[in-house]
Amino acid sequence: MNSFVLGLGEVDATQVDLVGGKGAHLGELSRIDGVSVPAGYCVTTKAFRRVMLDAASFEDHLGRLSSLSPDDRDAIRAHGTEIRRIIEGAPVPAEVAEAITRPLTGFDERTTFAVRSSATAEDLPSASFAGQHDSYLNVVGPASVLEHVRRCWASLFTERALTYRLRHGLDHREVQMAVIVQQMVSPQAAGVLFTADPVSSNRTVVSVEATVGLGEALVSGVVSPDVYTVRDGAVATRSIASKLLAASAAPGGGTVQHPIEPELQDQPALSEEQVVRLAGLGRQVEAHFGCPQDIEWCLVDDDILLVQSRPITTLFPIPTAADADNHVYVSVGHQQMMTDAMTPLGLSLFRLTALPPMHEAGGRLFVDVTAPLASPASRHAVIEVLGASDPLIGDALQAVVDRGDFLPSLADKGPTTGAHGHAPAPIDPDPTIVAALVEDNEASVAALEREIRTQSGAALFDFVLTDIEELKRLMFDPQSSQVYMSAMDATSWLNDQLQEWLGEKNAGDVLTQSVPNNVTSEMGLALLDVADAIRPYPEVIEFLQRIETDDFLDEMAELTGGPSSRDAIAAFLDRYGMRCVGEIDITRPRWSECPSALVPVILGNIKNFEHGAGERRFEHGRQEAWEWERQLLERLRALPDGEQKAGATERMIDIVRTFIGYREYPKYGMVRRYFIYKQALLGEADRLVRTAGLGEREDIFFLTFEELREAVQTSQVDTALIARRKESFRSHQALAPPRVLTSDGEAVIGAYRRDAGPLGALVGLPVSTGTVEGRARVILDMADADLEPGDILVTAYTDPSWSPLFITIAGLVTEVGGLMTHGAVIAREYGLPAVVGVEHATQTIQDGQQIRVSGTDGYVEVLA
């Protein structure tokens, strides 16, 4: 065959650019011993490109498409329609048409064919593109095959395919279309199999879906399949569907649906022997490709034919272990309120600064809790501590324990009191303790800023590693831990005892409002002060409403009020500019690097608040906390042993109000150091751009710390490795990390074991007391925030960078979070009812809906 057409036997997995992802996989399947694939050939991307050469204005439309947003549906639809019209009307050169139809002469004239799209960005590990392009069954005759090949080419530009590419950052010019032409078969049954459970992601389970006749009815959703799971070579579960319809080839081409006889409707499509054989074949294909596969199959006269195999792109990767034993991993991101994928440099730096050993998978970090979970002495404490922070993690871990056969049997090593190994020692509520800790940290950061300026090259990396030990000293200082752990324990004591004595739920929440030394809540109030500085100057406000770049501060000097407004923003950045969304990843853009990210919040503060709002808000919270303390103590003194109870409560309140604000400071200190490291490392990146062929300075983000160190030492950069890492990072961004993951790949799902709120309410963890109703604002990117007073923020997670938005909102709902994570702490300080850990909140709640949030009982109700 010529370059326009290749037989399946001539194709292998390396030829994606020539035959597309689907074609490459089919060719590779045909090479596996014991695997049968229907006969056929591939129309290569060279044929597509040859036809496009003569397609008028094709390139012009591609150029316009590249500038569109994936949300600009009308423009995408219009351009896509025009491009498909161009392709379907373009003449097919004689040599291309002859190459496409010549192989058909080897078949009987009554033979029918399946004509299926195979794009070069399809069925890849990073993006499946499943269902994005067209396929046609039961095509009869050379002329019809040629016409359907042309339709497959055109389907590269359907609205769904164009939108998918735009969302995944794929260049339309880089994606080409090949087409597969295969002999049609008439199966007794067909379906799909997954070599990992598509629901739980468990890699030890094969899932088989089957229906009678062609698989088209199953794929199109008009019939329900029989579903089998296979484990250890045997059928573990089966569910037989009632089959009312089947699809088969129509005599004149295409397919037709027809009813199934009543006596056959409840018969299984496969025997158990066939299911087990099919699962074994799936394991063989998985081993050949080296990753879990989604396989389409058909059964013809008891022979199994495979018609497609692609990687399962939705499975979360498994951390690499040093042994083949069972392991249980807990997500670090759910504890840190940062579940986004991290870059290699971000991952490696965070691992260097963290205390427990961590494992990487899918651009996220996990802690292996197998040993403490397997030991009866520590198991309860681990589940209790992690469950108190996130009940869904605690319940998932308990589910693993309850199975009884997954964890190893470990001998007890003696009792333990918790995850930290000891209870915090008593501490007096002395404000000078916090002042001394802050002073120590400030002096340390100042020394770092002075000394790092003299470092460069390999010496810089040694300096950073040495300073990371100083960072750890500050982060894990025993007195520092004692301060915030005492405050957390005192908060729990207040909630438990005041509910028992007075029937008050979460009574400690109000008591944490407007506490001193909370650097994160102070940041939100400081941005109100920035708004106060700008509010008198309409020219500055108008200027800020139309900025498009991050160099706007210098442009403000010529405006009336510009210098003082600029100075107010600059002063804020000097104090807080190292913060950003996802700040535990050192590579994330900081506010000092992208100050435009703050402008919408500043403008919102100017619009929604009056001068002096920051000071008034803090004082209002302080007065509310004081009045609540007075009421509680008065009610306690009226009880039996009231003076004793009031005295103990008063002491706990003093501990909370003196120390809980410091809870936010250690991370603030870490993030400050991260930004200093980052600036120094980017200086080395600039040198690599000039001397070692690094494409752009941010490319160093896709090297680990040690790899970057080697690149700086050798002045050599592995650009191919960086390109692969970027592709992996894009695929990781599309994945949602599980809270709990096993070494079988199973994402163990926990549940809230309680009823909360009215029927149909969304259940979560109550972290800040009170009930509020308002308009839901579903926001996934802080830069998109357009909030009005009284709105309720609904988002995936919040870290300290989101706290300036808390000034405006009336309530908070997040998908991730715990009792002492940053969003919960700031919500309590600002007096906002909040519920966190609400599964799929951003999908279930629609932007603009009226909702009721109960931060006391832990539920969210969507109102009519």
Residues annotated as catalytic (active site), given as ranges: 822
Handedness of CA 523, 529, 533, 537 (dihedral sign): positive
Residue 835 is encoded by which pair of tokens?
């519920």
Concatenating the DSSP letter of every residue in 38-93 gives --EEEE-HHHHHHHHHTSTTHHHHHHHHHTS-TT-HHHHHHHHHHHHHHHHHS---
Phi, psi of 757 (to 5 degrees): 75, -175
Sequence-ordered strand ranges (E) for 369-477: none
Residue 499, beta-bridge partner list: none
Residue 190, beta-bridge partner list: 211, 298
3-state SS track over 554-617: HHHHHCCCHHHHHHHHHHHHHHHCCCCCCCCCCCCCCCCCCHHHHHHHHHHHHHHCCCCHHHHH
> Three-state DSSP class for 123?
coil
Quote the DSSP letter at residue 157.
Answer: G
If one counts every other C-beta atom within 10 angstroms of the C-beta of residue 17, the result is 13
What's the CA gap between 518 and 662, in Å, rounded?
6
* Distances in whole angstroms, Cα of residue 452 to Cα of each of 345, 447, 673, 684: 19, 8, 11, 13
Q: What is the dihedral of CA 817, 821, 822, 824, to 10 degrees?
A: 70
> Three-state DSSP class for 683?
helix
What's the CA gap between 150 and 141, in Å, rounded?
15
Q: For tokens 């030829």, name the residue.
A: 15
CB burial of residue 483 (10 Å; 0-12, 13-18, 19+):
buried
Phi, psi of 848 (to 5 degrees): 95, -10
Q: In what order do the strands lie in the sheet with 765-768?
A: 762-763, 859-862, 850-854, 771-778, 792-795, 811-814, 834-836, 765-768
Quote the DSSP letter at residue 745.
Answer: -
Concatenating the DSSP letter of every residue in 418-447 gives STTSSPPPP----HHHHHHHHHHHHHHHHH
What's the CA gap between 762 and 766, in Å, rounded?
12
3-state helix vs strand vs coil in the chain, percent to 5: 50, 15, 35
> With contact defined as beta carbons under 8 Å apart, do 5 and 103 qualify?
yes
Handedness of CA 734, 740, 746, 749 (dihedral sign): negative
* Distances in whole angstroms, Cα of residue 842 to Cα of each of 133, 520, 802, 815: 29, 25, 16, 8
Quote the DSSP letter at residue 1.
Answer: -
Quote the DSSP letter at residue 753.
Answer: -
Show Cβ contacts of residue 268 under 8 Å, excluding neighbours closer than 6 positions.
Answer: 210, 226, 238, 240
Measure CA 378 to chain center.
31
Residue 765 is encoded by which pair of tokens?
């963890």
If one counts every other C-beta atom within 10 angstroms of the C-beta of residue 469, the result is 10
